[in-house]
């Protein structure tokens, strides 16, 4: 019995038609999706083996037998092709069958070997690198996506509040990260959005530190950067905890980061360049004499991926638009001493911003 139906649900309907309009403006006859996240965003299909071919009148999902049932459940409206193996033959055959001329693809997602194989097999059709096509579309979230991000934030925050109850000196950084992940799962998350960064004492000066067997102590600060993935969408937060008193050197740093964080969030509004928000935070940190210790961009978009468009950095050309959800995460890192970063998730609204995360700093 077939469970397939021909009606494309929202939000796929809207996304497919936006993609088709973009293809038309770029003079492309079709688009081949290679990335699992783009595939999910467009079709709702979560299977890890998949390609999607979007033409003006058809959406074809290529997968294999392991995901047959998943495809029928999650994207029954799409035309399904079960490949025998991962070979490019089947993909090429679909492109030739549809008599397509120019087939776009995202170069960042296309392995060179597959590109070489496909190029030969699809002739006379032509594969055309079309970068930044789906990424910018994904950056403005619809109401359903914002709801899922809110839920991922709620779970991460609740787990953090619980952590404040069980955190004890002597626990290792790795234990704290693992238990935090487990508690987010207990609260309904699929898991962590990324391996939590749990950095104690001077290790907090490494922005992407990997937690290890170092035990946490009452005498040192603890930087935690964590997030949940729930309903496929993520949250991304950072807080610093001092079980004892704040060492004076880091106390001043904390105040500066807090000020940069608050001013940058207040500056968020649509129409502004993302680099302008970075400049607000960087200005506060520079004035305090720590600009060389703020070694990364101010923030990034979140959604189905932990890092996606827009980029809030000094060199970013992105412009803030309503529906974007971005992190604001200034930090100051003092090698050999420690570091402070504060990270919150902020929605760009029609008129300004809404801070989605609500843990006190
Ligand atoms: Zn983070
Ligand atoms: Zn982040």
Structure-block tokens of residue 153: 């934030």
Distance CA 310, CA 281 (A): 17
Q: What angle do CA 243, 244, 247 make, to 5 degrees?
A: 115
CA–centroid distance, 3 to ligand 2, in Å, is 40
Coil, strand or helix: which one is 220? coil
pLDDT at 7: 87
CA–centroid distance, 238 to ligand 1, in Å, is 6
Coil, strand or helix: which one is 305? coil
Mean pLDDT by 10 residues, the chain (361 residues): 70 95 97 96 94 96 94 96 83 92 96 95 96 95 98 98 96 97 98 96 89 89 96 98 84 96 98 98 98 97 97 98 98 94 98 98 91
CA–centroid distance, 133 to ligand 1, in Å, is 26
3-state helix, strand, coil in the chain (%, to 5): 40, 20, 40
User: Quick one: how far is CA 175 from the chain centroid?
Assistant: 25
pLDDT at 1: 41
Residues with CB under 5 A from ligand 2 (ion): 236, 327
Distance CA 175, CA 247 (A): 25
pLDDT at 198: 96
Q: Which domains does the chain have, with CATH numbers?
A: 12-138 (3.40.350.10), 140-355 (3.90.230.10)
Distance CA 179, CA 12 (A): 36
Q: What angle do CA 142, 14, 194 make, to 5 degrees?
A: 45
CA–centroid distance, 104 to ligand 2, in Å, is 30
| Closest ligand (CA of 223) | 1
Beta-bridged to residue 199, according to DSSP, are 223
CA–centroid distance, 330 to ligand 1, in Å, is 11
Compute CA distances 28 → 20, 50, 104, whole Å: 9, 21, 6
CA–centroid distance, 208 to ligand 1, in Å, is 9
CA–centroid distance, 229 to ligand 2, in Å, is 14
| Closest ligand (CA of 302) | 2
Distance CA 353, CA 361 (A): 18
Distance CA 40, CA 31 (A): 15
Residue corresponding to tokens 């799409």: 78
Residue corresponding to tokens 């004890």: 168
Compute CA distances 154 → 39, 189, 194, whole Å: 26, 10, 16
CA–centroid distance, 196 to ligand 1, in Å, is 8
User: Quick one: how far is CA 152 from the chain centroid?
Assistant: 12
Question: Is the whole-model pTM more than 0.85?
Answer: yes
Distance CA 264, CA 280 (A): 6
pLDDT at 244: 80
**Nearest in space to 105 (alpha carbons), one of 162, 51, 159, 155:** 51
Residues with CB under 5 A from ligand 1 (ion): 225, 236, 343
Asked whether the beta carbons of 355 and 171 are under 8 A apart, the reply is no
């Amino acid at each position: 019995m077939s469970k397939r139906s021909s009606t494309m649900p929202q939000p796929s309907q809207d996304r497919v038609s936006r993609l088709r309009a973009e293809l038309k403006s770029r003079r492309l006859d079709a688009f081949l999706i290679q990335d699992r996240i783009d595939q999910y965003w467009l079709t709702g299909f979560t299977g890890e083996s998949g390609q999607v071919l979007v033409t003006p009148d058809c959406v074809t999902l290529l997968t294999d037998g392991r995901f047959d049932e998943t495809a029928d459940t999650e994207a029954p409206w799409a035309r399904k092709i079960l490949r025998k193996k991962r070979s490019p033959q089947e993909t090429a055959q679909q492109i030739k069958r549809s008599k397509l001329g120019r087939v776009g693809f995202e170069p960042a997602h296309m392995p060179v070997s597959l590109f070489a194989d496909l190029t030969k097999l699809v002739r006379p059709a032509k594969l055309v690198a079309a970068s930044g096509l789906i990424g910018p579309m994904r950056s403005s979230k619809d109401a359903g996506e914002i709801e899922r991000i809110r839920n991922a934030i709620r779970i991460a925050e609740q787990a953090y509040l619980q952590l404040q109850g069980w955190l004890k000196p002597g626990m290792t950084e790795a234990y704290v990260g693992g238990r935090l992940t487990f508690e987010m799962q207990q609260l309904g998350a699929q898991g962590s959005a990324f391996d939590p960064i749990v950095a104690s004492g001077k290790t907090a000066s490494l922005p992407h530190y990997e937690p290890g067997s170092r035990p946490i102590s009452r005498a040192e600060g603890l930087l935690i950067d964590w997030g949940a993935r729930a309903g496929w969408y993520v949250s991304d937060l950072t807080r610093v905890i001092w079980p004892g008193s704040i060492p004076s050197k880091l106390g001043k740093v904390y105040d500066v980061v807090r000020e940069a964080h608050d001013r940058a969030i207040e500056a968020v509004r649509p129409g502004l360049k993302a680099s302008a928000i970075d400049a607000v935070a960087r200005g506060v940190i520079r004035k305090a004499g720590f600009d060389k210790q703020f070694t990364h961009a101010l923030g990034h978009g979140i959604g189905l991926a932990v890092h996606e468009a827009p980029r809030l950095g000094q060199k970013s050309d992105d412009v803030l638009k309503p529906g974007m959800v971005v992190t604001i995460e200034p930090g100051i890192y003092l090698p050999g001493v420690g570091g402070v970063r504060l990270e919150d998730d902020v929605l760009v609204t029609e008129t300004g911003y809404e801070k989605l995360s609500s843990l006190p700093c």
